[in-house]
Amino acid sequence: MSGPYVIRGSVVLPEAELVWRFSRSSGPGGQHVNTSDSQVELRFDLDKTQALPPVWKEHALERLAGRLVDGVLSVRASEHRSQWRNRETAAVRLAALLAEATAPPPKPRRKSRIPRGINERRLREKKQRGETKRGRSGRDWG
Q: What single letter denotes the amino acid at residue 141?
A: W
Given a contact cutoff of 8 angstroms between Cβ atoms, the answer to whether 49 and 17 are in contact is yes
pLDDT of residue 28: 64
SS3 41: strand
Alpha-carbon gap, residue 44 to 16, rounded angstroms: 10
Strands 11-12 and 6-8, sheet pairing: antiparallel
pLDDT tens, 35-81?
677 889 999 988 888 888 888 888 888 888 888 888 888 999 988 88
pLDDT of residue 142: 53
pLDDT tens, 80-113?
888 889 999 999 999 899 888 888 888 999 999 9
- Structure-derived torsion over alpha carbons of residues 100, 101, 107, 112, reported in degrees to the nearest 10: 80
pLDDT of residue 116: 95
pLDDT of residue 107: 92
Among 23, 141, 34, residue whose Cα is nearest residue 90: 23
pLDDT of residue 65: 86
pLDDT of residue 13: 81
Q: Between residues 127 and 69, which one has the greater pLDDT?
A: 127
pLDDT of residue 113: 92
SS3 80: coil
Q: pLDDT-derived band of residue 125, with 50, 70 and 90 as boundaries?
A: very high
Alpha-carbon gap, residue 44 to 137, rounded angstroms: 69
Alpha-carbon gap, residue 6 to 11, rounded angstroms: 6
Please give the angle made by the CA atoms of 21, 23 and 28, to the nearest 5 degrees.
145
Look at residue 130 and tell me whether its pLDDT is greater than 90.
Answer: yes
pLDDT of residue 117: 96
